[in-house]
């Protein structure tokens, strides 16, 4: 039977396609795309004429049998999302899970992902990090998420929307204090900006220039390491209340 290729596409700059990504998309029998209209530009740019079919969060389950039938008949298929690496906060997990369970071959064609792209320039520790997807939309849930992660010593990586980035940073400052962070905006695009400083300073910079609040964001927060903070969050809270008792 055929192979499902999971193919990474650019996160902004259309030239960030690997040579193998292009030839794979040209040679497969079918491309499953999150949004076929969105991917049209990529297809035109690279003269890819392969038929496309949609595969998004609302129809993924119902596409699985169809895709298995095509693979069974010997066709090879590529899966792409609107940007970056499929399955990373994007559709494809159910499909890949099911194909693996049934013994089909699934092969990656690696390329950009906003997580690793942001980490590569943030200047925060990368020896260990954890990725937490999109932050919750509501402030209360967001604060709870930050609070759950307070003791984590590894670097924390999130996706955040432009509508909430400033509010999210304010919540972060309130819950975790003034950590060193990096906000990576519009990576690989015209208005790419990476701001790295203490949270309070980043908020100031973003409020001073409303353009800094537009676009796509990766938020990276330094972990609760001894070198970064000296004390655990709990110890700092105890210290704080003790200090406030002093004359």
Is residue 88 close enough to count as binding ligand SAM by CB under 6 A? Answer: yes
| Comparison of 32 and 83: residue with beta carbon closer to ligand SAM | 83
Q: Is the CB of 114 or the CB of 119 nearer to ligand SAM?
A: 114
Residues 23, 21: Cα–Cα separation, whole Å: 6
Helix (H) or strand (E) holding 132: strand 129-134
Binding-residue pattern over the window 42 to 81 for ligand SAM, x denoting contact by CB under 6 A: ---------------------------------------x
Asked whether position 85 contacts ligand SAM by CB under 6 A, the answer is yes
13 or 65: CB nearest ligand SAM: 13
- Interface with ligand SAM includes 193 (CB under 6 A)? no
The DSSP code sequence of 180-233 is: EEEEEESTTSTT-EEEEEEHHHHHHHHHH-GGGGSS-EEEEE----HHHHSS-H
184 is an interface residue for ligand SAM by CB under 6 A: yes
Task: List CB contacts of 116: < 8 A, sequence separation 6 or more.
Answer: none
Q: Which helix (H) or strand (E) covers residue 79, if one does?
A: strand 77-80
Q: List Cα–Cα distances, 2 to 27, 88, 90, 104, in angstroms.
A: 12, 24, 23, 8
- Cβ proximity to ligand SAM, 177 vs 215, nearer residue: 215
Q: Nearest distance from residue 172's CB to ligand SAM, in Å?
A: 15
Q: Which residues bind ligand SAM (CB under 6 A)?
A: 11-12, 81, 83-85, 88-90, 113-114, 159-161, 184, 186-189, 216-218
């Amino acid at each position: 039977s055929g192979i499902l290729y999971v193919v990474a596409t650019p996160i902004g700059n259309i030239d960030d396609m690997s040579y193998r990504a292009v030839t794979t998309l040209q040679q497969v029998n079918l491309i499953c795309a999150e949004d076929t209209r969105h991917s049209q530009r990529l297809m035109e740019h690279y003269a890819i004429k392969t038929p496309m079919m949609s595969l998004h969060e609302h129809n993924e389950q119902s596409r699985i049998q169809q895709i298995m039938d095509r693979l069974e008949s010997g066709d090879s298929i590529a899966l792409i999302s609107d940007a970056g690496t499929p399955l990373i906060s994007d559709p494809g997990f159910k499909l890949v899970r099911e194909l693996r369970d049934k013994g089909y071959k699934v092969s990656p064609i690696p390329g950009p992902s906003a997580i690793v792209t942001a980490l590569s320039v943030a200047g925060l520790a990368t020896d260990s990090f954890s990725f937490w997807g999109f932050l919750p939309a509501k402030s209360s849930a967001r604060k709870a998420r930050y609070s759950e992660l307070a003791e984590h010593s590894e670097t924390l990586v999130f996706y955040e929307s432009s509508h909430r980035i400033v509010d999210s940073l304010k919540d972060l400052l309130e819950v975790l204090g003034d950590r060193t962070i990096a906000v990576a905006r519009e990576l690989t695009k015209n208005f790419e900006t990476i701001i790295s400083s203490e949270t309070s300073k980043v908020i100031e910079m973003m409020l001073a220039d409303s353009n800094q609040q537009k676009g796509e964001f990766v938020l990276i927060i330094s972990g609760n390491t001894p070198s970064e903070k000296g004390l655990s969050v709990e110890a700092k809270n105890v210290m704080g209340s003790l200090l406030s008792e002093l004359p």
